[in-house]
Amino acid sequence: MTSHEATTPARATSRDVARAAGVSQAAVSLVLGGKWRGRVSPAKAEAVRTAARELGYRPNLAARSLRTGRTRTALLVVPALTSEFFARVYTGATRIAADHDFGVVLYPSPEGTGPARDPFASASAALDGVIASSMAAGALTALRAAGLPLVMLDSDPGDPTASAAVNLDIADGVRQLAAHLTGLGHRRIAHLAADVDSWTFAVRARALRAALAGVPGAELRRHPAALSVEAGLRAAHTALTAPGPRPTALLCDDDLVAAGACKAVRRLGLRIPEDVSVTGFDDLALAVAVEPELTTVRLPAEEFGAAGMRALLAVLDGTPADAPTLPVTLVPRGSTAPPPDPNAARPGGR
């Protein structure tokens, strides 16, 4: 080799990782293959992952796939790429996947909540498993036909075709919102309900009806809305101008719908929260971009995606999958307050 020729750094091997971590090569294989639980201590597993990162070690995935019959690839199906929530779910899933040398392909359903076509000539040949978030009933027929392990997120936990289900405590989030509004004194509440045929939005509607059923004097009206600012504006305008006493609170299934509701309130010459309180759901960045900032329910989206990936890895390893229901948190902000005094003069209203 002449003096001007560049040298190529030697690629780190599993032996190098084993030496740096103080373990056997077999232990390295178990840890990086995601099969270490019960065989390697958590401390040694972390030492292996740390050594692999520091040495820049990358296993020969092509050879491993031929040997194990696995592609080490998971598909994450979501209703849309435009939602910040699903971007966070993807981030959480890929974080866990990376620790196990898995890749995650993000696939938005062409028709929103369904149906999702098989994006490959044969999903079973291209993938090890599927994670589906917030999809409508029947939307995954084509992917289910591939016979792959399927982990459902924010979906019916009783689905017999799912290998595991991980959910958010959506019903509790609705109960927290209802308790917040009724605690402030609201009794006339309009539900700007997502006009989407999926399990998660059906749960919200049932939980809200149940929460208000025991509140004396509570009146609940439902106004369907697509998941957009414009649809929220139209639904809120309908709710606020319908015959009869005006609702004092708009409970929205989504922060985008709530942002549209805020626009409708102002266009009618009303104030938030003095005349009408508005709540959302998800706690997107939008929730603090509006003024006043939006009272909403915060969903742990990244941990949600991470839990889904952990469940899929467990299913692939043939071990019991942890199927938790993750807690959600009410975040009160400036868009909610006690209802107006019915005896006081109010702008723009009946």
Domain boundaries, the chain: 14-59, 70-166+300-324, 170-298
Burial of 17-26, coded b for 16+ CB within 10 Å and e otherwise, reads: bbebbebeee
pLDDT of residue 31: 82
Query: Could you tell me the fold of the domain covering 170-298?
Result: Rossmann fold (3.40.50)
Give the three-class secondary structure for 232.
helix
CA 340 to chain centre: 35
Distance CA 98, CA 84 (A): 21
Looking at the domain that runs over 70-166+300-324, which CATH code has it been given?
Answer: 3.40.50.2300
Residues of the chain under the 70 pLDDT cut: 1-11, 34, 58-71, 110-126, 136-146, 343-350
Which region holds residue 134: left if phi is over 0, alpha if psi is between -120 and 50, else beta? left
| Contact of 300 with 328, CB cutoff 8 Å | yes
pLDDT tens by residue, 314-329: 988 888 777 789 999 9
What is the model's pLDDT at position 242? 94
Query: What pLDDT score was predicted for residue 157?
Result: 81
pLDDT value of position 125? 52
**pLDDT, position 65:** 43
CA 32 from chain centre, in angstroms, equals 27
Helix 42-55 with 25-32: angle, nearest 10 deg? 90
Same topology, domains 70-166+300-324 and 170-298? Answer is yes
Q: pLDDT value at position 118?
A: 52
Query: What's the pLDDT at 136?
Result: 65
Question: Reduced to 3 states, what is the DSSP secondary structure of residue 268?
Answer: coil
Among 287, 221, 276, residue whose Cα is nearest residue 249: 276
CATH for the 14-59 domain, from 1.10.3470, 3.40.50, 1.10.260, 1.20.120: 1.10.260
